Structure 1
Amino acid sequence: MLPGDIVDRAGIPVTSPTRTCWDVARWLDVVEAVVVIDGLLARRIVDIPALREYALARAGCRGWRSLLRAVDLADARAESPQESRTRVRLVLAGLPRPRTQWVVSDGGRFVARLDLAWPEFRVAVEYDGFWHDDPEQFHRDRRRLNRLLGGDWLVLHVTARRLREDFDGFLAEVRAPLRSRGHRPGD
């Protein structure tokens, strides 16, 4: 460990947030490392320039490339671990990087905020978590979805089970509308 890698928290020595990101990038697969880093970014505990600088200052040491790769995939706007997992897996599968928490408006009026979106193609992915058991939330989401569909958006939904058991099928479902709406792999 280098100076600054250990900090004092209430009298307990712990690794600094940047060092923690380094460690998770070394120990976890890239998807799970990004989940942790996204959470720290969202809470403003770390920031991307500092993480890049930390990795580059340790170029040649075991783990520096892993941290850079995770940082390149990280996004402070991710709002849940499953959204992060979905986004990273889609990007690693070769899709263009989606925008997170994309706001759709119509004439300056708010329509919806989408988990993941490719606004230039009007394609979005919504992660459906456990809170969809709430009838009122379900009602609001479906009303929002109907307004999006009226605006020519295609919104695909994914669940934890689908990500776990049929990611390839879901990936094909996302690729198809992106291609039909003009995305060319390699763009």
Structure 2
Amino acid sequence: MPKAPRRPPQLRGRIFRGSIAVSRGLLTRNDLRSSAWRPLFRDVYADAQVKVTHRLRCAAVRRWLIPPGAALAGRASAALYGCTAPGPNEPLDVLVPKDARIGPTAGLRIHHGEIDPGDTVDRAGLRVTSPARTCWDLARWLDVVEAVVVIDTILASRLTHVSALREYALSRAGRRGWRSLLRAVDLADAGAESPQESRTRVRLVLAGLPRPQTQWVVADQGRFVARLDLAWPEFKVAVEYDGLWHDDPEQFHRDRRRLNRLLGGEWIVLHVTAKRLREDFEGFLAEVRAALRRRSHSPAGR
């Protein structure tokens, strides 16, 4: 029968430096390789019975890996605000003062830059970038579509608003990324209710289509008919993103029934899935363009 791995009581339920545990004689290097301990980052371990959350990973980074003055940033910061759902092993963005020394570290994306007064806040004991600074960094570090996906959620959470982000960008005119933030803010919409809805909307707008309305409510003589993900009401054209929740047959049935009512009311409703966005966006774009073109020349679009 295999010998149970060593689990000193001093380390149970804790995160710790492996080198310190070894120097104090609590564990050996070989013990650290056992199933009792989970490596989080270089020389940082957790008791394997501890549930490793995003916040716990961030707390380990803040305590053990980054210098004073640094902050959790980008997607890591957005997740601490509840605006993204990072993967369990996703590298964490950290913003480090320009003059701070820190080498490449597995599991971290290290960004050096100026940190202005007010650019960081305390979030449940962790130093994170402010919502505005987080949006600026996202606009600098991600492509515009993925930046807007997160900024949409930050706006929807009312952590900041469009005019504040524009003011923030303009106050930093001439610094790297200020135009990127303005562009992302111009594309952002707090009405988006899922990352894929945001991706769909932004890609359509970047392709040259008119900007759609989000969560457009259709009523008939004052009675609710449907709420549409994306809509061009002047043309009675809409786009619905079909997500994984359509595995629920009852939800699928309810949605199709309400959309059939729209079709009876002369709306064109186009559906898109993640697979279509990924593999045939150009084909989908052509369908939306054709629908808008057709309606722009028909009585329904007037």
Give the alignment's TM-score, normalised by structure 1. Answer: 0.96
After superposition, residues 47-66 of structure 1 pair within 5 angstroms as 47-66=161-180
Task: Name the structure, 1 or 2, with higher relative contact order (CA <8 Å, separation 6+).
Answer: 1
Instruction: Say if 2:197 is the partner of 1:83.
Output: yes
Match of 1:142 in 2: 256
Match of 1:31 in 2: 145
* Deviation, structure 1 residue 51: 0.4
Q: Could you say what secondary structure the match of 2:231 adopts?
A: strand
* Deviation, structure 1 residue 11: 2.5
For each residue in 1:97-135, what CA deviation from the matched residue of structure 2 results, as whole angstroms up to 9, or x when unmatched? 000000000111000000000000000000000000101
Letter of the 1:148 partner, please give it.
L
* Deviation, structure 1 residue 73: 0.3
How many residues get paired? 183
Match of 1:70 in 2: 184
1:94 pairs with one of 202, 205, 208: 208
Q: What is the identity percentage for the equivalent residue pairs of Structure 1 and Structure 2?
A: 84
Match of 2:88 in 1: none
Match of 1:167 in 2: 281
**Which stretch shows the higher mean deviation, 12-21 or 65-74?**
12-21
Instruction: Say if 2:246 is the partner of 1:132.
Output: yes
Match of 1:4 in 2: 118
* CA distance, structure 2, for counterparts of residue 11 and residue 167 of structure 1: 43
Match of 1:122 in 2: 236
* Deviation, structure 1 residue 46: 1.4
Structure 2 spans left out of the alignment, 5+ residues: 1-114, 298-302
Q: Could you say what secondary structure the match of 1:181 adopts?
A: helix
For each residue in 1:59-89, what CA deviation from the matched residue of structure 2 results, as whole angstroms up to 9, or x when unmatched? 0000000000000000001000000000000
Instruction: Say if 2:274 is the partner of 1:153.
Output: no
Match of 2:225 in 1: 111
Letter of the 1:38 partner, please give it.
D
2:291 pairs with one of 168, 177, 181: 177
After superposition, residues 12-23 of structure 1 pair within 5 angstroms as 12-23=126-137
* CA distance, structure 1, for counterparts of residue 153 and residue 116 of structure 2: 24
* Deviation, structure 1 residue 5: 0.3
Larger helix fraction of residues: 1
Letter of the 1:56 partner, please give it.
L
Name segments (4+ residues, structure 1) moved above 3 Å: none
For each residue in 1:14-63, what CA deviation from the matched residue of structure 2 results, as whole angstroms up to 9, or x when unmatched? 11110000000000000000000000011111110110000000000000
* Deviation, structure 1 residue 168: 0.2
Larger radius of gyration: 2
Match of 2:39 in 1: none
Letter of the 2:219 partner, please give it.
S
Q: Could you say what secondary structure the match of 2:275 adopts?
A: helix
* CA distance, structure 1, for counterparts of residue 127 and residue 238 of structure 2: 43
Give the alignment's TM-score, normalised by structure 2. Answer: 0.60
Q: Could you say what secondary structure the match of 2:165 adopts?
A: helix
* CA distance, structure 2, for counterparts of residue 80 and residue 9 of structure 1: 24
* Deviation, structure 1 residue 10: 2.4
Letter of the 1:105 partner, please give it.
A
* Deviation, structure 1 residue 176: 0.1
Quote the RMSD (CA, aligned, Å). 0.8
Q: Could you say what secondary structure the match of 2:173 adopts?
A: coil
Structure 1 spans left out of the alignment, 5+ residues: none
